A and B are shown apart, each in its own frame.
Chain A
Amino acid sequence: MKEQKNSETDEFEPKGTMVILLIFVLTLILLWGSVYLILLSRGVTV
């Protein structure tokens, strides 16, 4: 897939977007991980 640079000022680097999303991913790992650890702490089921 080729990149297009068709218009002047419309191109910008969404770095702030990346920062927000990385914060989101870290929160996701933390919160999901904590529930996963609760699962592990409560013992097997078979």
Chain B
Amino acid sequence: MTDKQSMHIDPYEKNWIRLSIGLLVVFATAVTVAGFAFGFQVPTPEDRVDPRTVATEGPWADPGLRELVPGKKYEAYILAQTWAFLPNEITVPVGAEVTFYVTSKDVQHGFKLQDTNINMQIVPGQVSKLTVTFDEPGVHNFICTEYCGAAHAIMFGTLTVE
């Protein structure tokens, strides 16, 4: 019996496997280059906080925009809670590089800044961080993209670039 055993891979199927692997390698390369050479990155652990005290102690006790280099570099500390972002209006100048630090004091939320690649899960106890540079004037909504209770649908804020 054993001598008759074999995988029987049809030549066409062999080529198909090669093509599939090749395709995945191309995609993986494109993703890796974008991620690690150009900076299209996903969040990575930044800091942990105590959700029970985060609204009263530390940077999220006074959420808002911090100017590091005028006109150039900013930090936005945003507190997510049911069912609003604090603050829910932010204005930055054109050319500003803004780093978002977002956390939640109650349940999970989402933070998606429309028409940018800022898209983060907001998890109580964790700090979500990503950076974006605004090259053109305009208005971007940041919306809550994770179900967070009764009024989840109205939870959003506005970022104005001018």
Contact = CB atoms under 8 A, between A and B. Distances in A.
Physical contact A–B (CB less than 8 Å): yes
Interface of A: 1-4, 13-15, 17-18, 21, 25, 28-29, 32, 36, 39-40, 42-46
Nearest to B16: A21
B158 interface: no
B76 to A, nearest CB: 14
Q: How large is the interface on B (under 10, 10 to 19, 20 to 34, 35 or more residues)?
A: 20 to 34
Contacts of B115: 42
B161 to A, nearest CB: 12
A45 B41 contact: yes
Given A4-B6, A45-B118, 12 more contacts: A3-B11, A17-B12, A21-B16, A36-B34, A39-B117, A42-B115, A42-B116, A43-B133, A44-B132, A44-B133, A45-B40, A45-B117
A43 B117 contact: yes
Contacts, number: 61
Contacts of B13: 14
A30 to B, nearest CB: 12
Contact of B40 (A13, A18, A25, A39): A39
Given A1-B9, A4-B6, A18 B16 contact: yes
B117 A44 contact: yes
A41 B13 CA distance: 37
B6 A2 contact: yes
Contact of A43 (B6, B12, B132): B132
A37 to B, nearest CB: 10
Given A14-B10, A21-B16, A39-B117, A46 B39 contact: yes
